[in-house]
A and B are shown apart, each in its own frame.
Chain A
Amino acid sequence: MRIAIVDDHQLFRSGVRAELEGLVEIVGDADGVDSAERLILDNSPDVVLLDVHMPDGGGVEVIRRVAPERPGTRFLALSVSDDAEDVIAVIRAGARGYVTKTISGDELADAIRRVHGGDAVFSPRLAGFVLDAFAGAPPAPADAELDQLTPREREVLQHIARGYMYKEIAHRLDISAKTVEAHVSAVLRKLQLSSRHELSRWAAERHLLDADS
């Protein structure tokens, strides 16, 4: 499994490199959108660790440029940002998960492996964002299946947000770990395909509502 690191902070790149050394093969790192594009097109890594915030468009722009060329490459967003709007934007652009930069090396390696295996990786914070984004009634006409979480999906997300591992969730809900993965992947798909216009704007709206109340 070959991975690439894209982050505009040199210190952070070397930190991640040191933590992942020996766990996965790192083919290179890049400090910006242009160099990331070259790096990914030249090396075709399996997984790209992608910073949400970078000059010239950030992770969204990197995915937009290289995803059509390298359909086999998977993206895992990695950021200190708590800004739900930015995180959701990267997921909607095609990233298969989001973890915060405070994640430990082992957990990060595990998340990379899961993304590589085609699964979605939701950190507790992302699960919270998604639950917030899908809260409330869906817009009237749109695709109801895509615009709403099933009760089971909601339950799974809540457990992720509560700090449970997938295996523990499977045990608690009395389903197989594979089913948990399937639910999370379904949520990811909804997140990426849903026409809920709130998904891109909801954070700002939520803040407005908060200020009003």
Chain B
Amino acid sequence: MALMESAASSPRTIRRDPERRLIAGVCAGIGRYFGIDPLWVRVAFVAASAAGGFGIVVYLIGWVLMPAEEGVEPAPRRWSGRASIEVGAGAGLLLLSLLLVLRAVGIWFSDAIVWPLVLVCAGAALLWRQSMSDGAAAPPHATRHPPPRDSERARISRTGLGIALVIAAGIVFLQATGALSAARNVVLAVLVVAVGLSVIFAPLTARLVRSLSAERAERIRSQERAEMAAHLHDSVLQTLALMQKRADDPREVAALARRQERELRSWLSRGTTTPDERTLATALEAAADEIEREHGVPIDVVAVGDAPLDAAGEAAVAAAREAMLNASKFAGGSPVDVYAESRDGRLEIFVRDRGPGFDSSAIPDDRRGVRDSIVGRMKRNGGRAVIRTPEGGGTEVEIVVGGEEQ
């Protein structure tokens, strides 16, 4: 337990130690200053409190005068849940002892106020404690002492107990002063008025609650609308403006439109995939997007059975990228079809164009390197790549990794 740990260093001045507090850290601070276990200090204080309330007074003075240790996070209150009942009882008893002290000293008004005051004090302490623990979120370091999870019912019943205590105090007070019978009529009158008012205002309240939640929903909607408007403004409107400026260059306009379309599609499907995760489809789309941007040749990607990428998959995508680049450069601007399928650990990518075709016997020297980066790369990564000129013209690059190929 943290209370039992000895102080790490002996401080020069006497300070409260909120880190190991039970109430305000007075005892813990004293214990640390003198290098003794705060438990003994606490025992001494309790004993002194029992003996005429002296301890309580000293504790309060200490609380006021001793500065708190700086730079430490107050420990989370160790009491909650059932403990808040103990806090209530404790507060009541503390007040009782204080009253007894005052009575012994001779400052006194009437015995009739003792029980009501004690009950009010206990109830108030319980309610405050409850509302504080409801309001304050658990601090991050509270994991050391995970706060007991209060069930809703337990919380409500404790709040109810606090209210009952306060009401009981009122009743006892009225009883003691003989005003109860008079008060009964008043209570009855108040009750009747309250019931009447609640009947009158119930529809109004219900409507208010409904309109509040409707307003909240509307606010969320308008936030979404604002986000969408901002996005459209940044992307679509900008592109449209750009397209109007470049209206005399149809190639450029088409490229701008394609890029915007791609961007908008990925934005629309954004909710369903995490952006930082690289899958076959997203990687191919990204490569296609990049090449399309540079060369203005439309590239259509169809991916089936999307899958996360491993090293071999990355190599396949890189090879496919080279193939797309080739097709964009040498296929005379004809559209490029990219088809990728991932099934049972086997990954196939086809890059197809409808250009003049590809005569492998007449590869110019500057394309040999490119060919290396497709065929060679796949060989190095345990796959294969085939470049062929299919019936109907054009070029098709087939890239395969995994499956029975290995």
Contact = CB atoms under 8 A, between A and B. Distances in A.
20 contacts: A128-B302, A128-B303, A128-B304, A132-B305, A135-B304, A135-B305, A161-B304, A161-B339, A162-B337, A162-B396, A163-B339, A164-B352, A171-B391, A171-B392, A172-B390, A207-B272, A210-B277, A211-B273, A213-B307, A213-B308
B245 interface: no
A165 B343 CA distance: 24
Given A128-B302, A135-B343, A211 B391 contact: no
A contact face: mostly helix, strand, loop, or mixed: helix
Interface size class of B (residues with CB under 8 A): 20 to 34
Contact of A161 (B302, B343, B390): B302
A168 interface: yes
Interface of B: 261, 265, 269, 272-274, 277, 279, 298, 300, 302-308, 337, 339, 341, 343, 350, 352, 354, 390-392, 396
Nearest to A136: B305
Interface string A70-93: 000000000010100000000000
Contacts of B396: 162
Contact of B337 (A82, A163, A172, A210): A163
A158 interface: yes
Contacts of A152: none
A8 B119 CA distance: 73
Given A206-B306, A210-B306, A162 B339 contact: yes
Nearest to A207: B272
Contacts of A135: 304-305, 343
A67 interface: no
Contacts of A172: 390-391
Contact of A162 (B269, B306, B350): B350
B302 A125 contact: yes
Interface string A169-213: 001100000000000000000000000000000000011001101
Contacts of B265: 82
A170 to B, nearest CB: 9
Interface string A107-129: 00000000000000000110110
Contacts of A213: 307-308
Contacts of B350: 162-163
Which of A161, A168, A207, A211 has the most B CB atoms < 10 Å from its CB? A161
Given A164-B352, A164-B392, A165-B392, 6 more contacts: A82-B269, A102-B298, A125-B302, A127-B302, A161-B341, A162-B339
Contact of A158 (B274, B308, B341): B341
B339 A124 contact: yes
B341 A124 contact: no
A38 interface: no
Contacts of A80: 261
Contacts of B343: 135
Nearest to A167: B392
Top 6 closest A-B pairs, CB basis? A163-B337, A128-B302, A207-B272, A168-B392, A162-B339, A163-B352
A53 to B, nearest CB: 12
A168 B391 CA distance: 6
A16 interface: no
A127 B337 CA distance: 13
Given A82-B265, A165-B392, A124 B302 contact: yes
Contacts of A206: 306
A135 B343 CA distance: 8
A207 B390 contact: no
Contacts of B274: 211
A139 B39 CA distance: 68
Which of A128, A131, A132, A171 has the most B CB atoms < 10 Å from its CB? A128
A161 to B, nearest CB: 4
Given A135-B305, A164-B392, A168-B392, A125 B279 contact: no
Given A161-B302, A163-B352, A211-B272, A128 B339 contact: yes
Given A158-B341, A207-B273, A124 B279 contact: no
